[in-house]
Amino acid sequence: MRADGKIDYLELPGRDMAATKAFYTDVFGWSFVDYGPRYAAYDEGLDGGFDGDPELGTRAPLPVLYATDLNAMQARVEAASGIIVKPIYPFPGGRRFHFRDPAGSELAVWSES
């Protein structure tokens, strides 16, 4: 069940999408749903996806939290001195924003609407 502020999704870098998908399929038996040539989602205990966007370069895993009211959650992040890295934007499945916490970690928050 989705709940405000809980980790709901985990994005990982996937520079070579074919090799990344082959590795996880061969080793762990994972299956994927492709959302274009640079994104493959998985549902293997914790939903997530591999992002193969070359513009991103090397980056750390991106924990994605859930919010029923995305605008209110962005306001709460800002009020607590979180730094908005990407303001609310649409993506397949909903909308989301990215922020940095006081330690410099980047996270995202998403909502279906």
With respect to residue 1, please indicate whether it lies within any of the assigned structural domains.
no
- List the alpha helices (DSSP H) in 10-109: 17-28, 70-79
Question: What is this structure's pTM?
Answer: 0.81
Tens digit of pLDDT for each residue in 52-110?
Answer: 888 765 578 999 999 999 999 999 999 988 999 999 999 989 999 999 998 788 989 99
With respect to residue 27, please indicate whether it lies within any of the assigned structural domains.
yes
- The neighbouring-strand residues paired with 91 are 94
Residue 51 in this model has a pLDDT that exceeds 60: yes
Query: How much is the pLDDT for 94?
Result: 96
Query: Domain holding 50: CATH number?
Result: 3.10.180.10
Query: How much is the pLDDT for 96?
Result: 96
Q: Are strands 46-51 and 7-13 parallel, antiparallel or unpaired?
A: parallel
In degrees and rounded to multiples of 5, residue 28 shows phi and psi of -115, -5
Q: Domain range holding 37?
A: 7-111
Q: Tokens standing for 105?
A: 């970690």
With respect to residue 2, please indicate whether it lies within any of the assigned structural domains.
no
With respect to residue 93, please indicate whether it lies within any of the assigned structural domains.
yes
| pLDDT class of 28 with cuts at 50, 70, 90 | confident
Contacts of 40 (CB under 8 A, 6+ apart): 14, 17, 20, 21, 32, 33, 34, 49, 50, 52
- Section 9-36 average pLDDT: 90
- The neighbouring-strand residues paired with 56 are none
Angle CA(89)–CA(100)–CA(76) in degrees, nearest 5?
Answer: 70
With respect to residue 105, please indicate whether it lies within any of the assigned structural domains.
yes
Domain count within the chain: 1
Query: How much is the pLDDT for 81?
Result: 86
